[in-house]
Amino acid sequence: MKQPTTSPAGRWLKRLLRSLFIAIASLVGFVLLYLLAAFVLSSISVAEEPGAPDEVTMYILTNGVHTDLVVPVVNEQYDWRQLVPHQQTLAKDSTMPWLALGWGDKCFYLQTPAWKDLKASVAFNAAFGLSTTAIHATYYKQMHEGDDCKAIRISRAQYGRLVQYISQSFQRRADGGSLWIPTTAVYGRHDVFYEAHGSYSMLHTCNTWANSGLKAAGQKACWWTAFDTGIFKKYK
């Protein structure tokens, strides 16, 4: 008995469904491979430099997704007010002793006040390094240690390297000052944004930047991490 032949439309639909299945399977496989690599590589530890004296206190701070490096606003080594003038915050409060600094995708910072506001175009550009970056700086009156905030004591030499690492992430004007981003998209009365160097991507995230800062300061860190959990596991 002769088998019925498939119509051209049926063959086209079959090819379409097959291509869609391959695309979805490839995407799921890529995501799983990325998450596996993130877990494995963040589990490999970079050891703290031995024998360094406890001379400067810094903190790491997370909002559950993003890691900030928190430094003294001013000490005998460096005055961060030259790059982050308190007058550029809404509060203009000069009494704050701590400054949290984070690096990330500029569009994500300025266009995504909450996860519900995330646009597909912003996520895509951030994942594949197609947009510019920014430094987010927030002044704090005091730091409260807990699961989301860990104190780290480092030497003056280590702090000097950390200052150099963070400050080099700022884009500069001809006079050496930072490039302030005037915006109403700040998160409160004590934070501000600046143009930054570098390209954000799924391989170099805000947490990768913070992790590299810890390495620069000779502190415990991940070999590589995309997420804040890798960093904070080192400081339980």
What is the structure's pLDDT at 4? 57
Residue 126 in domain: yes
Residue 21 in domain: no
Residue 11 in domain: no
Residue 105 in domain: yes
Q: Provide the number of structural domains found in the chain.
A: 1
What is the structure's pLDDT at 33? 78
Residue 140 in domain: yes
What is the structure's pLDDT at 166? 98
Residue 10 in domain: no
Residue 37 in domain: no
What is the structure's pLDDT at 122? 65
Find, among 75, 66, 77, 74, the residue nearest to 101 by Cα: 66
Question: Rounded distance, CA 136 to CA 151, Å?
Answer: 20
What is the structure's pLDDT at 126? 64
Residue 127 in domain: yes
Per-residue pLDDT of the chain (236 residues; tens, 9 = 90+): 555 566 777 677 777 667 676 667 666 665 677 778 788 999 999 999 999 999 999 999 999 999 999 999 999 999 999 999 999 999 999 999 999 999 999 988 888 766 566 676 766 676 666 689 999 999 999 999 999 999 999 999 999 999 999 999 999 999 999 999 999 999 999 999 999 999 999 999 999 999 999 999 999 999 999 999 999 999 98
User: Domain residues for 130?
Assistant: 45-233
Q: How far is CA 47 from the centre of its chain?
A: 21
**pTM across the whole model:** 0.86
What is the structure's pLDDT at 16? 66
DSSP codes of every residue in 67-134: EEEEEESB-SS-BGGGTS-GGGSSS--TT--EEEEEEEEHHHHHH-SSGGG--HHHHHHHHTT-S-EE
Note whether 83 and 171 are within 8 A (CB). no
